[in-house]
Structure 1
């Protein structure tokens, strides 16, 4: 399975009553595909997965598949800190027809490396579609070590890693120990350096705003035009950082709303951007020429 170079972790639009706005979600999906996204992660962290019901998640997968109409791969974020529940949702997502799964490291219960291995193995072996591991210790308080990723790379269906560990030495070791696994940057600002370590692309938040440029950056690097790739990276660097000045997805939802792509607010316990954050986002978008 080739998930491509630019994978967008899509936000979940809500209406004024904070109900899922499926119409806006499909319009956003279409917009993302038209602007460089090869795959879309639905109900990941950026999609506010902790506050979505299973029914809402399954309906979002159906809506994404309908909107994409096979123009992009649809990856369902079905991972959780409950192995049995993750298996149940993964099987249902596969039945709906998603192209792959994103499996986050179990959060809060802090499993051992052996526990992580068994958790991911059990989920991957319950389905017949490709699985991407998601290492994000800043949110989960547990790190999937390179040695564990190497073990998991031998498991049927585990084909990729979203690496948001922020440790390039561990990325290097992962590529050395598990050369067959496709590594994707989980941090927009680290995409360019991670490409030099063999990463295939990025699971991006900033691609909501600058998808075509992010794709050009990756393709420029692949063609050997590192100078052009660096120019794009530096042009977008403030955007990469501004979209994380407070908890994701607060800034990217504000950015999309300012751009006229209405995605609504956020479900508690997340809250809308404050005035200082709104101004920082507005200034950033104006500097990039996205807002007048």
Structure 2
């Protein structure tokens, strides 16, 4: 592992890996991919969406990431996406960095989202690889170059090949690292050897682990932080894991990763992605996350009761 990323040599005594030198925001710690709340008719509830961002920030999160997968971004109109970014930026008001999801299948639309996010005060943008159509090396490099050229805030790549159908080769990541203003990469591939090699080859970038199954392992291979769906509901649990690791208590961090596995299993019950909003509605959060937008759907009463029983058994309610 390159010395540039070795947190153990940090002057502040922190044990967690340090962000890359090319990352002006120094993204690290827990960055929940916050939800988009809906009313019962599936219209966006901007007030509750902002309230959820406030909820995770008050739970200790080190950053907020609206319009990731948990934000149901592919199901929103461009105008709704802009409204979500505006609501979250206004609510957080500089307390922690807001890195807004701006990715779209077309470069033109992605650039438009990125320019809007910058104009309303987002601190950075997260750009999922274009999806639906196949993406080759040159297409990927040109896409990210155009986005990075369009804004002055840092750009983070979002790599989630299971959902986009497009994976990035290690050679492509190396080329992306040469783009001015490209600061890091959020990896949800769950391909640990790929991630380890990408980190090793590009110590100037910040890497964020994108799966709750790889919070502790991600820190071990050099990720500076984690984009955690579990942290959308229990931010303090994931923050405790990061802080234990950063303080050098790896045994405690491992124990908390084990607890995260249990929570992850519980919220993965039922329809795809229904668990986070259901768990938020079970927990007394002070806001209503509402339903998911169709064709995604809520848990039925049986799954909801089982989730509540699981969370009770874990001592989290």
TM-score by length of 1: 0.95
CA contact (8 A) 1:6 1:203 kept: yes
Question: Given the alignment, which residue of 179, 182, 186 partners 2:203?
Answer: 179
1:221 aligns with 2:258: no
CA 1:270 to 1:188, structure 2 compared with 1: closer, same or farther past 3 Å? same
CA contact (8 A) 1:61 1:98 kept: yes
CA RMSD of aligned residues (A): 1.5
Counterparts of 2:209 and 2:26, CA distance in 1: 15
Deviations 1:210-240 (A, max 9, x none): 2112112112222221101011111221112
1:212 aligns with 2:226: no
Structure with more of its chain in strand, by fraction: 1
CA contact (8 A) 2:127 2:156 kept: yes
CA contact (8 A) 1:11 1:249 kept: no
- Structure number with higher relative contact order (C-alpha < 8 Å, ≥ 6 residues apart): 2
1:121 aligns with 2:142: no
Counterparts of 1:120 and 1:111, CA distance in 2: 12
Counterparts of 1:132 and 1:45, CA distance in 2: 15
Listed as ranges, the matches of 1:163-202 within 5 Å are 163-202=187-226
Counterparts of 2:74 and 2:300, CA distance in 1: 22
Question: Given the alignment, which residue of 54, 57, 69 partners 1:45?
Answer: 69
1:286 aligns with 2:307: no
Q: Residue 40 of structure 1 aligns to a residue in which SS?
A: coil
CA contact (8 A) 1:146 1:170 kept: yes
Counterparts of 1:209 and 1:190, CA distance in 2: 17
Residue 276 of structure 1 deviates from its aligned partner by: 4.5
Question: Given the alignment, which residue of 234, 250, 261 partners 2:274?
Answer: 250
Partner of 1:16: 40
Structure 1 spans left out of the alignment, 5+ residues: none
Question: Given the alignment, which residue of 267, 270, 292 partners 1:266?
Answer: 292
Residue 255 of structure 1 deviates from its aligned partner by: 0.8
Counterparts of 2:268 and 2:188, CA distance in 1: 13
1:63 aligns with 2:87: yes
Residue 98 of structure 1 deviates from its aligned partner by: 0.5
Listed as ranges, the matches of 1:121-140 within 5 Å are 121-140=145-164
Counterparts of 1:197 and 1:18, CA distance in 2: 40
Listed as ranges, the matches of 1:139-150 within 5 Å are 139-150=163-174
CA contact (8 A) 1:147 1:177 kept: no
CA contact (8 A) 2:244 2:250 kept: yes
Q: What is the number of equivalent residue pairs in this alignment?
A: 291
Partner of 1:157: 181
Listed as ranges, the matches of 1:70-149 within 5 Å are 70-149=94-173
